[in-house]
Amino acid sequence: MEGNFLSLKSQKSYTSLNIVFVGDLKVGKTTLLSQIVTPGNKDPVEATIAVDYQLKEYKSFVLNFWDVSGNPCFQSVRQQFYEKTSVFVLVFDISSRNSFENLNEWIEEIGKFANLETKIVICANKIDLFNARQVSETEGGLFASMKEFLYFEVSAATGQGVKEMIDKVISGARETI
């Protein structure tokens, strides 16, 4: 699997980034991660139990992706993975207004682990379900800009917008210490 492991023999020096995906159950966090790590992969994903981890070599970065379950019963487990996070990706599903409204709870949950150098972005997923849209791009973008977070619209199912998001997420993210 090209790009899915480190070229151990190379003398390249890498910057390590921890990127954590959070958001309600079934908003598509694991599918999104699968699309980032193996673009074009259409294999169905399973519900995350507590946390999943994936690693990707990307340009001069080692990206450590932590994909946590949105299930409330895993809150204390999730929090162990919030330390030393470079980027939090807050995911909601555009066909679920509830998942958008719950973003504030996610912001509160990660808040005590974020500092001025932590990047937070909002990711509106499932834009392929345009007929079922319950949150407009304008509303989502406004919510993000009021909090000074970047905003992306993507489809983890088709891959639309995913590469653009990850390129922007990486640029300027702080190194994991």
Ligand X SMILES: Nc1nc2c(ncn2[C@@H]2O[C@H](COP(=O)(O)OP(=O)(O)OP(=O)(O)O)[C@@H](O)[C@H]2O)c(=O)[nH]1
Chain residues that interact with Mg ion, rule: CB under 5 A: 29-30, 48
140 binds, among Mg ion, ligand X, none (CB under 5 to 8 A by kind): none
Touching ligand X, residues 21-40 (CB under 6 A): 25-31
What are the DSSP E strand ranges found in the chain?
Answer: 15-22, 51-58, 61-68, 87-93, 119-125, 150-153
Q: Give the residue with the Cβ less far from ligand X, 6 or 47.
A: 47
Q: Give the residue with the Cβ less far from Mg ion, 48 or 125.
A: 48
* Nearest one of 170, 176, 177 to 60, comparing CA atoms: 170
Q: Which two tokens stand for residue 3?
A: 């790009």
Residue 90: strand pairing partners:
22, 122
Binding mask 88-107 for ligand X (x = CB under 6 A): --------------------
Q: Give the residue with the Cβ less far from ligand X, 18 or 125.
A: 125
Angle at 92 between CA 103 and CA 134, to 5 degrees: 100
One of 6, 42, 47, 164 touching ligand X (CB under 6 A): 47
* 70 touches ligand X (CB under 6 A): yes
86 contact partners, CB below 8 Å, separation of at least 6 = 17, 18, 19, 118, 119, 173, 174, 175, 176
Rounded-to-integer distance, Cα 51 and Cα 125, Å: 20
Q: Give the residue with the Cβ less far from ligand X, 164 or 175.
A: 164
One of 57, 101, 128, 139 touching ligand X (CB under 6 A): 128
Note the residues at the interface with ligand X (CB under 6 A).
25-31, 44-45, 47-48, 69-70, 125-126, 128-129, 155-157
